[in-house]
Each structure stands twice: as structure tokens, then as C-alpha cells.
């Protein structure tokens, strides 16, 4: 066999090992076998960047930050501007509470290439997680000034995810829809659109603390199904997304169907994070809280995995919400602190922290958390705004209570009890 043919066969074998590793990582959540496959890939092709990135990502998820850093540095020697390695390095800095250094990495790359929308999308995600989402606006504007027609899909995708995180769901859907048909950004744009249709207010569709009538409209369910079919046509596995759509209906027949489908996945892989979290939510809605906790506990006690970030956050929130309902505030706070460690822009985590402090009658502390949550929601979450105003009232910050009450009425003129329970009482207190 000639050397050229041998190299070709070795390249094919490396690619097979890589794809098998991806299967073990993503579908089986079997890190040990995934690592073995990626290492085998590198033995056959020692410059296989995707295998290195996969090993860096797995090591980061396992808390092996030194190994993660070593792989990232190897990748950046081969490809100085590699966005995925850069993102993982920045994420390491974030976990070390070095927020400024983390964002500086991306900003330096954007200074050289302002309209690199893959880098910009990573920066928006990073700024969200570090609690500085609003800073992303100036980078989007700068990129827009430098963009070419051929890169409009990337610009629209970045604007769309910014709007999604900024509680502007209608605007987000419009921008993401422009990116939806692009070969590179299309799949990610569709996935974001589905999430928005299923939960436009980015709120909890279930709470153990009190009954909630918040849910998804039939029109939104239909739109989510249509978009899911688009992903299926592209060859993507949409099983979990289909289950999320069934759960979003909150109807018993569909919840039981989702439960059956999730059970089938769980039997094959009991450690699959999305399956466990979706099953937990499904069972909570079916009022089977003990069973729900059994599915969520393996997630909340396991090592954080960046590529399942939103599922981890939902698991922590659901468990915290349950603990609050049983007056176990210390356990609830522990879950919420995990959530805020990895995403300082999680509105619901700050809201529940506020609720704990309110129940403990620590109104000043409660107001501080509610204020963060209200600001994170772009002052669009009237329920959080009302709790903030109420706690300002209790803390004798009467002028602040009035200001927040007015903010709520600007967006929701008929929001109940703002006038009678906040504005009128605060004004009486000031006169006294």
C-alpha cells in the first residue's frame, strides 16, 4: 500500500473514531468511552482540531481545568483564532470570577474582525453569563456598520439571541427568522425560535410554590412543531425537542406521551441530562413530585456541562422552587447559587432569591434581588416588578416603590393592585 493511500486510510479511521466519540459524548453521556475514542482519533491524526476541542470541553465539564487549558493552547497553536478554543478558555476565566479577562479575549478578536459573527455570538453568550448583557449592544452596532450583505444572516442571528436574552421575544423571532435559512446559522436560529415559541416570557410553566396559569398558546405550539420538522428534515435528532413541545401543552394526554418517550431514552442512557430534566418537569406538572425529584437529583449533584447549560439551570431552578415550597430555604439557596455562578443573568434565580428573603422578612435584601431580576428582564416582568415595589414599601423606600409602580404601569397599564397596593399606600406613607 502506498504512503498516500495509507495516510488516507488513517484519516478515515481517525474520523470514524471522532464520530464515535461524539456519539458517546452527546447521546450516551459516556465520557470515558468518548475520551478513549477522541484519544484514538488523535493517535491517527495528531492535529485533529475537533477531537482536541471535544477533549477540552469534556475536561472542562469534569472540572479538570488544567487539562482543558492544555488542549485549548494546543488548538490555538494550530489555529490562533479558533473560536471554540477561545470560548472554552474564556469560560475558564469566567468560572474563576475573572469576568473582565474573559470578555477581553473576545473583544480583542472583534477589534481585528468586527463582523465575525461566530465570535460575536460567543461574546453575547459570555456577557449574558457574566451579568453584563447590555454591553453587547455596542459590539452589535459596530459589527452592523462593518457588515457585508453576504454576512447578514450572522448579524441577524446575533441580534436575535441578544433580543431573546433581553426579554424582547417578538423582536428576537423577527431577527432569527432572517437567519433561519442560512447554512451556518440556520439550525441554531431555528432552535432558538422553538425555545421562544415554547416560553416567550422565559418564565416557569410549573411551580411547586403556587399554581401558575402561564403556558404556551396553541399557535405557538403549532409554530414550534413546524420548526421542529425543519430540523428533522436537516437530519437532526429532534426527540427531546418533540418531548418539550408535548410538555409545553400541559395537557395530561400529551404529558403522558412525553413521559413514555423520555422513559425509552432513559432506559438506554440514565445519565442523559436533557432527558432527566425534561422528565422531571413533566412529572412535576403531572403532580408526581417525588418521582420528579428522583430524575432531577442526579443532574443537580453531577458536574456542570457547558453544552447542557440551560438544562442544568432549569434543574437547579425546579429543585430550588420545590425546596421553597417545603420551607427548606437553605437548600433552595444552595441550588440558586449554583445557577447564578454559571449564569449571573438568570432572572428566575434572582427572583427566587428575593422570594426567600421576603419570606424571611429581610425586605431590604429581598428588594436587592428583585431589583436585579427586574432589570435583567428589561423591566418587562411585571410580577417581579410588583414584588420589588412591595418590598420597597416594606423597607420604607416609598419613593422607589412609586417609581417602580409607574414603570410597571407604563408597560402594563391594567396590572392588578399596583395602584391600590403600591402607589396609594406609598403616597399615604410619604404624606404621614
With 0-12 / 13-18 / 19 or more C-beta atoms within 10 angstroms meaning exposed / middle / buried, residue 237 is exposed
d(CA 42, CA 116): 29
Averaged confidence pLDDT in the chain: 93
pLDDT score at 378: 93
Q: Does residue 321 register a pLDDT over 80?
A: yes
Architecture of domain 99-200+215-233: Alpha Horseshoe (1.25)
Q: Does residue 1 register a pLDDT over 60?
A: no
CATH topology of domain 237-339: 1.25.40
For 32-80, write each residue's pLDDT tens digit: 999 999 999 999 999 999 999 999 999 988 878 899 999 999 999 999 8
Pairwise pLDDT comparison (229 vs 96), residue with the higher score:
229
Cell numbers of 365, please? 435584601
d(CA 180, CA 400): 43
Q: Does residue 217 register a pLDDT over 60?
A: yes
pLDDT score at 95: 74
Residue 237 CA: distances (Å) to CA of 205, 257, 274, 314, 316: 24, 18, 13, 21, 25
Pairwise pLDDT comparison (9 vs 189), residue with the higher score:
189
Q: Which residues contact 263 (CB under 8 A, 6 or more apart)?
A: 279
Q: Average of pLDDT values for 271-276?
A: 93
> Do the domains 1-97 and 346-432 sit in the same CATH topology, yes or no?
yes
How sure is the predictor about 360, in pLDDT bands with cuts at 50, 70 and 90? very high
Q: Average of pLDDT values for 357-366?
A: 97
For 115-148, write each residue's pLDDT tens digit: 889 889 989 998 999 999 999 999 999 999 888 8
pLDDT score at 104: 87
What is the signed CA dihedral for 166, 159, 215, 198, rounded to 10 degrees?
-140
- pTM of whole model > 0.75? yes
d(CA 103, CA 90): 7
pLDDT score at 404: 97
pLDDT score at 183: 93
Which of 26-40, 232-246, 369-383 comes out lowest in average pLDDT? 26-40
Any idea what DSSP says for residue 413?
A: T
pLDDT score at 91: 81
Q: Does residue 422 register a pLDDT over 80?
A: yes
d(CA 129, CA 165): 10
CATH class label, 346-432: mainly alpha
- Vertex 127: Cα angle to 126 and 130 (nearest 5): 85
How sure is the predictor about 2, in pLDDT bands with cuts at 50, 70 and 90? low
Which of 176-180, 211-215, 233-237, 309-313 comes out lowest in average pLDDT? 211-215
Indicate the domain borders of the chain: 1-97, 99-200+215-233, 237-339, 346-432
pLDDT score at 357: 98
CATH number for the region 1-97 comes to 1.25.40.10
**Residue 346 backbone class (left: φ over 0; alpha: ψ -120 to 50; beta: rest):** beta
d(CA 415, CA 189): 33
Q: Average of pLDDT values for 389-411?
A: 96
For 279-295, write each residue's pLDDT tens digit: 999 999 999 999 999 99
Which of 93-102, 137-146, 196-205 comes out lowest in average pLDDT? 93-102
Q: Does residue 383 register a pLDDT over 90?
A: yes
Amino acid at each position: 500500500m502506498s504512503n498516500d493511500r495509507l495516510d488516507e486510510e488513517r484519516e478515515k479511521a481517525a474520523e470514524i473514531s471522532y464520530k464515535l466519540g461524539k456519539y458517546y459524548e452527546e447521546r450516551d453521556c459516556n465520557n470515558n468511552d468518548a475520551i478513549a475514542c477522541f484519544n484514538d482519533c488523535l493517535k491517527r491524526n495528531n492535529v485533529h482540531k475537533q477531537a482536541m476541542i471535544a477533549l477540552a470541553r469534556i475536561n472542562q465539564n469534569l472540572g479538570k481545568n488544567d487539562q482543558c487549558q492544555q488542549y485549548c493552547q494546543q488548538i490555538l497553536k494550530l489555529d490562533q483564532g479558533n473560536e471554540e478554543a477561545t470560548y472554552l478558555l474564556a469560560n475558564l476565566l469566567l468560572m474563576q470570577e475573572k469576568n473582565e479577562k474573559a470578555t477581553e479575549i473576545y473583544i480583542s478578536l472583534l477589534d481585528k474582525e468586527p463582523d465575525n459573527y461566530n465570535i460575536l455570538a460567543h461574546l453575547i453568550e459570555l456577557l449574558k453569563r457574566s451579568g453584563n448583557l447590555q454591553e453587547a449592544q455596542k459590539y452589535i452596532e459596530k459589527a452592523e456598520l462593518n457588515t457585508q450583505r453576504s454576512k447578514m444572516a450572522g448579524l441577524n442571528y446575533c441580534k436575535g439571541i441578544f433580543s431573546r436574552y433581553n426579554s424582547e421575544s417578538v423582536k428576537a423571532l423577527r431577527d432569527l427568522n432572517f437567519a433561519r435559512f442560512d447554512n451556518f446559522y440556520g439550525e441554531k436560529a431555528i432552535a432558538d425560535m422553538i425555545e421562544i415559541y415554547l416560553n416567550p416570557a422565559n418564565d416557569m410553566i410549573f411551580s411547586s410554590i403556587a399554581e401558575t396559569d402561564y403556558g404556551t398558546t396553541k399557535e405557538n405550539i403549532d409554530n414550534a412543531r413546524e420548526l421542529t420538522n425543519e430540523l428533522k428534515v436537516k437530519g437532526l435528532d429532534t426527540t427531546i425537542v418533540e418531548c418539550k413541545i408535548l410538555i409545553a401543552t400541559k395537557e395530561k394526554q400529551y404529558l403522558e406521551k412525553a413521559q413514555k418517550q423520555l422513559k425509552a431514552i432513559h432506559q438506554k442512557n440514565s445519565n442523559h441530562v436533557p432527558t432527566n430534566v425534561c422528565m422531571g418537569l413533566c412529572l412535576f406538572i403531572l403532580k408526581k413530585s417525588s418521582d420528579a425529584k428522583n430524575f432531577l437529583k442526579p443532574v443537580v449533584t453531577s458536574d456542570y456541562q457547558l453544552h447542557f447549560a440551560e438544562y442544568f439551570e432549569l434543574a437547579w431552578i425546579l429543585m430550588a422552587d420545590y425546596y421553597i415550597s417545603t420551607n427548606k430555604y437553605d437548600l433552595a439557596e444552595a441550588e440558586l447559587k449554583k445557577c447564578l455562578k454559571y449564569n449571573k443573568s438568570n432572572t428566575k434565580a434572582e427572583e427566587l432569591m428575593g422570594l426567600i428573603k421576603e419570606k424571611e422578612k429581610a425586605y431590604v435584601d429581598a428588594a436587592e434581588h428583585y431589583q436585579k431580576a427586574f432589570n435583567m428582564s428589561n423591566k418587562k416582568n411585571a410580577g417581579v416588578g410588583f414584588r420589588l415595589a412591595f418590598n420597597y414599601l416594606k423597607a420604607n423606600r416609598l419613593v422607589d416603590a412609586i417609581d417602580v409602580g409607574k414603570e410597571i404601569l407604563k408597560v402594563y397599564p391594567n396590572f392588578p393592585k399596583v395602584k391600590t397596593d403600591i402607589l396609594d399606600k406609598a403616597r399615604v406613607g410619604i404624606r404621614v
